[in-house]
Amino acid sequence: MKVQEEVSEYQARYIESNTKYSAFCGGRGSGKTWIASRKSVKLSEKHRNQLVTARTYKDLSQTVIPKFEDCLETYKIPYKINHSKHTIVTDRAKFLFLSCEDPESIRGYTEFNDLHMDEAGWTKKKAFTNLALCMRGNSNNKTPPTYNFTSTPRLGSWFNKKCIDKKGQFTLIQCSSLDNPFISEDEKEMFLDVCSDSEELEQQEIYASLDTGSSKNAVVPDKYFLLDKPIVLNQPVNVGIDFAGQGHDEIVITMANETGVEICKHIPQDKEPDQVLQTLENIVEGRTLCNIVVDDTGGYAQGFIHAAKHTEFKSLIRRVNFAESAKDDEIYANSRAEMYFILRKYKKEGFNTSVCKNLREECAVTIYYLNDRGLRQLIKKELIKQELGRSPDESDSVCLSTYYPFKKRSAIVSQSPQVIKLR
């Protein structure tokens, strides 16, 4: 490779590192995937097969593989690519690109010398464990394997712990977004502006800090739970209903007003829609009801919606799919992220949630980050379930109850929903 490219000091140190473990912990725009491709291609010239991973197949096809193609073309290395098998072959080595979405699907790959994990902090530890077993070398090169990671940090992740511990032969390079001389001042200013309302996000996404405090970049930091103000009763209320999915999920009904949560009711998932409806009638009896906001993700709310169609509740029901577009789609990746940030605003102002037994714990593991489009996004629910050992049903229900204004539409509920009077 005779072509010379301009690289920063941090990038050069990572590319040239030759320890068993090498980690580039960088902020947004620090060139993580770019330098991963350069380091990998450099190693491949020594007849070393390369195993390269990303969080998702989308990341592979749209970001990682194009970066590797660009690198090979820049260095004028002939190659053949098989898009269906996600492989690139040169005259000296093979590159295999894998998604870490399903760690159990990445077993059985052997004859690889080096592992490169893109956004390692956002992948499951099981993926790394399974992949590490693939590093057995090939017939042309049996030298010891190397394990190479590029990622934005994520507090509490196996990647952060590995970087902090630095056990064995370990090279750690940390680089903030502002350290990269190849991005414009406008881009740097944009990064700072997007993260301006969150010190935790700024430390993680811009300064690549491996330790950003106890909040773990939670949407609702733990410190906000110390700000509960006294709740004011007899105010108009919203109801949020999170319906049970599969497994051990519960149905959770939350009734809240602008000052706090009044009732947080847990119902076994095997309750029939009519029983859920009856529970709702009992909870809201005699109250001014603004909205009934239901989680319609996965279709689990359909039975309840059908049961309520002959009642006046029908006109108050608002369906929300957590995966759908946010109201403010220039800031949030989807409605799930948006509603958690709305709860964050309420909690910061002293919204009382003392009746919620699980909310604090669930919020502590509901972490957010900036996605590739610079939008605020929450980590996948599956990761939250792994941390908790259950679904965050309570926090989802509370978020539903605060998603819509409390005074936009209202009704006074008597003993039966059939006699609701809409205002």
Considering the entire predicted model, what is its pTM?
0.57
Number of H helices, E strands in the chain: 14, 17
What is the reported pLDDT for 297? 81
Architecture of domain 222-422: 2-Layer Sandwich (3.30)
Q: Nearest 5 degrees, angle CA 64-CA 69-CA 73?
A: 150
Q: What is the dihedral of CA 66, 325, 393, 104, to 10 degrees?
A: -20
Q: Which amino acid is it at 135?
A: M
Going by CATH, does the domain composed of 9-205 fall within 3.40.50.300? Answer: yes
What is the reported pLDDT for 254? 96
Q: Which amino acid is it at 347?
A: K
Q: What is the mean pLDDT of the chain?
A: 86
CB half-sphere exposure, 24, CA atoms < 13 A: 32
Q: Nearest 5 degrees, angle CA 52-CA 128-CA 84?
A: 35
pLDDT band at 53 (very low <50, low <70, confident <90, very high): very high
| Alpha carbon separation from 61 to 67, 118, 157 (Å, rounded) | 10, 13, 25
Encoding tokens for residue 342?
């709305």
Contact 368, 379 (CB under 8 A): yes
Domain layout of the chain by residue ranges: 9-205, 222-422
Task: For residue range 377-408, list pLDDT tens digits in order.
Answer: 998 888 888 878 888 999 999 999 999 998 75
Task: For residue range 107-165, list pLDDT tens digits in order.
Answer: 777 789 999 999 998 888 899 998 888 788 777 877 899 999 999 888 778 898 898 88
Secondary structure (DSSP) of 212-231: --TTTTBSS-GGGGG-PPPP
Give which of 274, 273, 231 is closest to 255, Cα–Cα.
231
Ranked by mean pLDDT, the top range of 24-33, 186-195, 347-356, 411-420 is 347-356
- Within 283-410, strands assigned E span 288-295, 317-320, 368-370, 376-378
Q: Check residues 195 and 221 and name the one with the higher pLDDT.
A: 221
pLDDT band at 247 (very low <50, low <70, confident <90, very high): low
